[in-house]
Amino acid sequence: MKIQLKELSMKFDDVLAVNGLNVHINKGELVSLLGPSGCGKSTTLFMLAGLYKPSSGEMYFGDTLVNNVEPENRGIGMVFQNYALYPHMTVLKNIMFPLKMAKVPHKKAEEKAIEMANLVQIGHLLDRKPKQLSGGQQQRVAIARALVKQPQLLLLDEPLSNLDARLRIEMREEIRRIQQEVGITTIFVTHDQEEAMSISDKVLLMKDGQFQQYSKPQEMYDHPVNMFVGKFMGNPPINMIPVTFDHKNLSIQINGTDEKLKVTSKLNYELVSGNQMLLGVRAEDFVLEKLEGISNSFSAKVDLVERTGRDTLVHATVGNHAIRALVNQDFVVKPSNIVKLSIRKNRLQLFDAETELNLVLGKE
């Protein structure tokens, strides 16, 4: 089922929790709703579920306007952060519960519940009570219960945040597997950018109830539309270096230094408000050399070298700006060394200091 949101808003007294959201989700896609705590993710999900009534705007499931459709008639399955399993019921009874409420005959309900338990790989735990299960197993029960009525839309609200780091990674892969096996349109709420990047077809990023960007994860990472998106995606965080733009020579000078770089990327000049900008470069997009004479590079002094096993994170300073660069682990460098930094082709971002918009023209 495809989903369409038009100018969807939700106002609580004086808080505009969701502000004019326009989104189109294709059938069978997994879309992550991403953003910091309090940005309106759960509110959006609760409106889709029918638990909150929007202040304004429209929600379409397929071609049907569902604003006034009761929650139980929307064909949705929902999983919450705290699982919300019934503690006194066995796994089997928990999964069967929605079917029982829908008055499905016992035998048929049991068959369907067992099928779902097998899908989420807890078929051997049917007689256990929730407290006899690990967090990951409880989450599997919650997913099976959400899917048992064969909903058209699966809504997940931070389903992994109660799990430890290793289990979170395992379960997110499981959610993706199950989602693809069932082929169900899914909206997955998370505040974790890596989680969103790793499992989504598309990511919708919000801030303070406001839409920021809706793209494929890699596109959002490679071409953030503004500084907020650039900083929110990626770890270590993107380097942001204040620079002054020279319109005549198409070059930038790092503020407080004599270091200059030529800008070869195409810029959207309609968005340029002045000459103050921020150079955005991801840590892995710097190329470090110890030789002088590398063209289109700038010099920086190494402060600290952090080895993480897979690669090396070099902390350096240019002027009074701290930067971080990821280099191959066999690149030998020591504190107080001077290194030359250049930027991989097409990997430079330039943000307008005033509007915070990305001035580099994206792929589209």
**Residues in the site for Mg ion, rule: CB under 5 A?**
42
What secondary structure letter does DSSP report for 268?
A: -
**Residue 158, phi then psi, degrees to nearest 5:** 45, 55
Our CB check for ligand ADP shows the closer of 43 and 358 to be: 43
Our CB check for ligand ADP shows the closer of 31 and 350 to be: 31
User: How would you class 213 by CB atoms within 10 Å of its CB: exposed for 0-12, middle for 13-18, buried for 19 or more?
Assistant: buried
Our CB check for Mg ion shows the closer of 159 and 230 to be: 159
Touching ligand ADP, residues 208-237 (CB under 6 A): none
Query: What would you report as the CA-atom Rg of the chain, rounded to the nearest whole angstrom?
Result: 25
Residue type, 297: S
Touching ligand ADP, residues 15-74 (CB under 6 A): 15, 17, 35, 37-43
> Of these partners, Mg ion, ligand ADP, none, which one is at the site of residue 73 (CB under 5 to 8 Å by kind)?
none
Our CB check for ligand ADP shows the closer of 42 and 200 to be: 42
In what order do the strands lie in the sheet containing 76-79? 76-79, 153-157, 185-190, 30-34, 202-207, 210-215
Q: How far is the CB of 42 from ligand ADP (least distance, A)?
A: 3
Q: How far is the CB of 189 from Mg ion (least distance, A)?
A: 6
- Can you read off the two tokens belonging to residue 302? 């190494």
Nearest residue to 214 via CA among 31, 15, 1, 12: 31
Nearest residue to 1 via CA among 99, 87, 77: 77
Q: How far is the CB of 54 from ligand ADP (least distance, A)?
A: 13
Number of residues in contact with ligand ADP, rule: CB under 6 A? 11
Tokens 């990472």, located at residue = 221
Q: How far is the CB of 158 from Mg ion (least distance, A)?
A: 6
Q: How far is the CB of 136 from Mg ion (least distance, A)?
A: 21
The H or E element containing residue 43 is helix 41-49
Q: How far is the CB of 77 from Mg ion (least distance, A)?
A: 18
Q: How far is the CB of 320 from ligand ADP (least distance, A)?
A: 35
Tokens 């004019």, located at residue = 20
Our CB check for ligand ADP shows the closer of 13 and 63 to be: 13
**Residue 154, phi then psi, degrees to nearest 5:** -110, 125
> Of these partners, ligand ADP, Mg ion, none, which one is at the site of residue 12 (CB under 5 to 8 Å by kind)?
ligand ADP
Tokens 């810029």, located at residue = 267
> Of these partners, ligand ADP, Mg ion, none, which one is at the site of residue 179 (CB under 5 to 8 Å by kind)?
none
The H or E element containing residue 230 is helix 227-232
Our CB check for Mg ion shows the closer of 71 and 362 to be: 71
Q: How far is the CB of 308 from Mg ion (least distance, A)?
A: 31
Cβ atoms of 251 and 260 within 8 Å: the answer is yes
> Of these partners, ligand ADP, Mg ion, none, which one is at the site of residue 135 (CB under 5 to 8 Å by kind)?
none
Q: Please state, as a whole number, how many other Cβ atoms lie within 10 Å of the Cβ of residue 284.
A: 16
Our CB check for ligand ADP shows the closer of 209 and 280 to be: 209
Our CB check for ligand ADP shows the closer of 17 and 144 to be: 17
* Residue 130 binds to ligand ADP (criterion: CB under 6 A): no
Cβ atoms of 282 and 347 within 8 Å: the answer is yes
Q: How far is CA 239 from CA 20, 280, 325, in A?
A: 31, 5, 9
Q: Please state, as a whole number, how many other Cβ atoms lie within 10 Å of the Cβ of residue 173.
A: 12
Output the residue with the shortest Cβ distance to Mg ion.
42
> Of these partners, Mg ion, ligand ADP, none, which one is at the site of residue 50 (CB under 5 to 8 Å by kind)?
none
Contact residues for ligand ADP (CB under 6 A)? 12, 15, 17, 35, 37-43
